[in-house]
A and B are shown apart, each in its own frame.
Chain A
Amino acid sequence: MDKRMKHRTASIAAYLLFFAVIFALPLFLNSFWTNRVATYLVYSICAVGISMSWGYAGILSLGQGLFFGIGAYMLAMSLTLAVPENNPVPELMLLNMQPDAVRDLCCVTSGSFLWIPFRSLAVGMIAAVVVPCVLAAGLGYVMFKRRTTGVYVSIITLAFALIGQLLIINNQPLTGGFNGLADLALLNIGGFDFDPYGPSVYYLVACTLLAVVLAARCLLSARIGQVLKAIREDEARARYLGYDVENYKLFIFCFSAGVAGLAGMLFTVSAEFASPSLMATAFSISMVIWAATGGRASLLGACIGALIVNFVGSVASENATFQPVWPIILGGLFVFVVLVMPNGIAGIVKDWIDRSDRRSAAGKEVYP
């Protein structure tokens, strides 16, 4: 078996094993942990998006949190309106309206008409993916057409997310401000309630993760995946070879934003709130570190990285002794991953397979 085949078999086996474990887990978990792990899987979806744009195309977006947060808000708006008491006007707007304003969504506070389409759940769900994509397309168009590359993209997306967060906090009557949107209805599709603490939400998230990973694999094994890698390695050369570098980058940037929006939407379903903290710089950068820990150029690695870092993080922050030290460990992890294992867990596993390959080969024949 040549090396390539061996990698392929190993990676398929790893995918199968991972998803088998994921789908079997709820059988062994109580409702609290089912909900927890469902949320971690949401983070995994996000990490897949990052791995695609960063690991494969070399675009490090530090604004993924904004797209994630917008996805969360879009569905949260629909789920807010799905609560009977919030009709015709959500409570947060009643608290902020002028005394003589008409109690209708059209004009109770300035801008409240923006909520009108969200009376429909379908609009909320579609907007959760489409709005981040459109925003990313606008920003990406500006950045990539001007040939902004590398670290400038990171800084601009970082600043973009920061502004988004400030605007959300600042427009209290429209967005719930610092507190965000809580007290949401359960997601109800066709009369079926998705219970965040039951297996229904868990499997919703797990199936979405599977679908996203499959879609990403198909995309990356197609021609576009090869072109993206070429762009990552040498942008100028890819351009000279006649590829429209900007459009490829724009596409993957939007795709990754859409995935983040989708993850944000599922976050609202499983965590039952949306708040500006989802758009914080710190959160955007931690997403990147999940992907880096697992292996930036490996979709599965990114999933596993997100699971591990969040699992350890939440266990540590519940322990009174570890709680104050956890951010230090997390910071140390950033430094450690970057210095010692730049290809993450996936890289280590790959090296290990290669090495065992060489060892078993050495027994049979002697290489020159």
Chain B
Amino acid sequence: METFVIGLSIASILFMVALGLAIIYGTMKVINLAHGEMVMIGAYVTVLATKHLGFNLYLCLPLAFLVTAGFGLVIERTVVRRLYGRLLDTLLATWGIALILQQLIRIHFGLGLFGIHIDGLGSDLQNVPVPAELQKTLYFLGANIPVYRAFIFMVALLLGAITWWLIYKTRFGSQLRAVSVARNTAAACGVNDKRVNMLAFAYGSGLAGIAGVLVSGFKTVSPDMGTPYVVDAFLVVVAGGVGHLVGTFISAGILGEVQSFVATWLNDVYGRTVLFAVVILILLFKPQGLFVSRSR
């Protein structure tokens, strides 16, 4: 049961990261390898805001969303928008951006070169204080469940619901779906597809930022923490079927649980090995992913 809940929280983080990636990839066919860095930046926003502004973890959630969405917006405006239609090139360019972002954190945004050091940045590991009520454990169905893990799950569910509402119930969502199915037709019908791209990229990045805040509560924060997330999240997107919200949700669940159970049974490394094997198996039997969106 404990393992299940831990798996659920891993799955929730994966889901939040993968959701952003899926929106970005589904809408504009861009592989964003800097997406993991959005998780990292979200975590650093938490570190800085708790250290310098006295924020608690809850307040950091919207703040990190705004900051990372801002970063996403800038990346889209400056680099990614010039690369639409060149899928593999987006991969390289965004990896370059990821390198830059990591190093900027390490050298205190360049201030380190002039001897100015900001507490909370640099290449050392950082920790974030977690509010007392989240550190408790809850006795539920014969098992001790860390409240923090449950909290992560709740946030993920809430974000999933918000994203569902945004995509299927709002004007922006229908524009987004129109653009991802048939960009030119949508543009011809008067949808401002550049604006949709921009907002989708920013929203996706923001989701990763929120995941970053939650990750910072149970893992140490370091400049290179983001890379594993982007790979795992991409596996989730691929396994779940591109452009399928429910598919992403379920495959994040499966992969998170698989990783958690194997990791408790053997160790972390085998957890990830099996995770990868499962994805390969899924792709072998369902090359399009678990769920295929029936759109043309």
Contact = CB atoms under 8 A, between A and B. Distances in A.
Interface of A: 60, 142, 146-148, 150-152, 154-156, 158-160, 162-163, 166-167, 169-170, 281-282, 285, 288-289, 292, 321, 324-325, 327-328, 330-335, 337-339, 342
Interface string B80-115: 001100111101110111111011101100001100
B234 to A, nearest CB: 5
A339 B231 CA distance: 24
Contacts of B280: 142, 156
B39 interface: no
B238 interface: yes
9 closest Cβ pairs, A-B complex:
A334-B96, A331-B99, A331-B100, A327-B103, A170-B269, A331-B96, A338-B93, A335-B96, A166-B269
A339 B93 contact: yes
Contacts of A342: 86, 89
**Residue among A156, A162, A338 with max Cβ neighbours from chain B (10 Å):** A338
B147 interface: no
What is the interface of chain A mostly: helix, strand, loop, or mixed? helix
Contact of B98 (A289, A331, A338): A331
Interface of B: 31, 79, 82-83, 86-89, 91-93, 95-100, 102-104, 106-107, 112-113, 227-228, 231, 234-235, 238, 267, 269-270, 272-273, 276, 279-280, 283-284, 287
A327 B97 CA distance: 10
B273 A285 contact: no
28 contacts: A60-B88, A60-B91, A148-B283, A151-B87, A151-B88, A152-B283, A154-B31, A154-B88, A155-B234, A159-B231, A159-B234, A167-B269, A167-B273, A170-B269, A282-B227, A289-B96, A325-B113, A327-B103, A328-B100, A330-B96, A331-B103, A333-B96, A334-B99, A335-B96, A335-B97, A338-B83, A338-B86, A339-B82
B238 A339 contact: no
Nearest to B270: A170
A346 B280 CA distance: 37
Contacts of A167: 269, 273
Given A163-B272, A292-B92, A325-B113, A339 B83 contact: yes
